[in-house]
Amino acid sequence: MAKLKIVKFGDETLRKVCRPVDEITPKITRLLDDMIETMRAANGCGLAAPQVGVLRRIAVIEVEEGVVYELINPKIIAYSGEQKETEGCLSNPGKWGITKRPAAVTVRALNRYGKEYELNGKDLLARAICHECDHLDGKLYTDVQIKSVEED
């Protein structure tokens, strides 16, 4: 495994729509492993492929230590409720904002073995799923930010 370089805000890669993964190859599984290592090294709870310069629909999430969700070609299929919470991004270190996100979401994705599954997330997991799926569509948390944490 290798720690990857995280792309920072201002890099146009973060504004591009990612391509779906057509086949899960050893290169894709290696990318998943490297993304997990990179996310953990940066003390993050999620990381999307464009954040490491790869324009593919892949994300990893770990909001509970040791429980990693690998999302390949994720699609949010249901959402409910609302939460307004502080959110940040590994691509925008040291910056935070209040965002409005669903309180609960269901996402359908493939795992590293090509098996389709559904993940139901609430609270922080729901926010992380939305945040990482947004990255795959070239959207940033600042696009849904209600206010910057630095504002009074």
Give the active site residues.
Answer: 132
What are the angstrom distances between the C-alpha of 63 and each of 16, 46, 70, 109, 143? Answer: 25, 8, 12, 18, 22
CA R_g for the chain: 14
- Report in angstroms the alpha-carbon separations of 16 from 33, 39, 50, 125, 140: 23, 21, 8, 24, 11
Cα gap 10→29, rounded to integer Å: 28
Chain centroid to CA 136: how far?
8
Direct distance between the N- and C-terminal alpha carbons of the chain, in angstroms, rounded to an integer:
43
